[in-house]
Chain A
Amino acid sequence: EPEVTQTPSHQVTQMGQEVILRCVPISNHLYFYWYRQILGQKVEFLVSFYNNEISEKSEIFDDQFSVERPDGSNFTLKIRSTKLEDSAMYFCASSERQGSTQYFGPGTRLLVL
């Protein structure tokens, strides 16, 4: 069964450093998403992406964040200058079309020191 994959599974970085989290969505899916889950808290929406454009973003997704689909398979989330409060589990998701079920990857656990 096709699944969303994410790399790395864990990343430790110093405050102020840039990180790039990578995702490979399910191959025939057209809509891509990032969510995050701070330890002990609920899963929160960050951004949705379609046709090489951001279609929706949350208040969390400020100028420090960016997303990109650099090629036909990868979907990335970049945090330019990490802060301590960016420490969280980051989930990528994809859906076949608008409004259809979102399938999630296993997540990347980011720790900012």
Chain B
Amino acid sequence: AQSVAQPEDQVNVAEGNPLTVKCTYSVSGNPYLFWYVQYPNRGLQFLLKYITGDNLVKGSYGFEAEFNKSQTSFHLKKPSALVSDSALYFCAVRPTYILTGGGNKLTFGTGTQLKVEL
């Protein structure tokens, strides 16, 4: 069974500082990894994904994530945080299509609340 762990319920960072939101995963075979963001009273917005290729993936709003197979991690990063980045961030995983025989189910972590302060 696949699973995702987001070890931090909340991350606090000062505006202008770099931020990291951690995610580790467990899945059979190669993973497809995703980050979504949820602003208050809004749905889940797609930020970025890793399928294959370069371990550093760039996404929306200046976010990037680094895939590390040996550590089974996919941490979300941004070089310089903005107050407007404050939101709930979810990491999600699903196994590769071939292994699942077609399953598209995303398994989410519990979410990390990011708070960026002036």
Contacts and interface: CB of A to CB of B under 8 A. Distances in A.
Interface of A: 4, 6, 31, 33, 35, 41-45, 48, 55-56, 58, 91, 93, 95, 98-99, 101-107
A42 B109 contact: yes
Contacts, number: 59
B55 interface: no
Given A41-B110, A42-B110, A33 B43 contact: no
B49 to A, nearest CB: 6
Nearest to B104: A48
Given A43-B108, A58-B105, A104-B45, 16 more contacts: A4-B43, A6-B43, A42-B110, A43-B92, A43-B111, A48-B103, A48-B105, A56-B104, A91-B44, A98-B97, A101-B49, A102-B46, A104-B36, A104-B44, A106-B41, A107-B43
Chain A binding surface SS class:
strand
B106 interface: yes
15 contacts: A42-B111, A43-B44, A55-B102, A55-B104, A56-B104, A56-B105, A95-B104, A98-B97, A98-B102, A98-B104, A101-B49, A104-B45, A105-B43, A106-B43, A107-B43
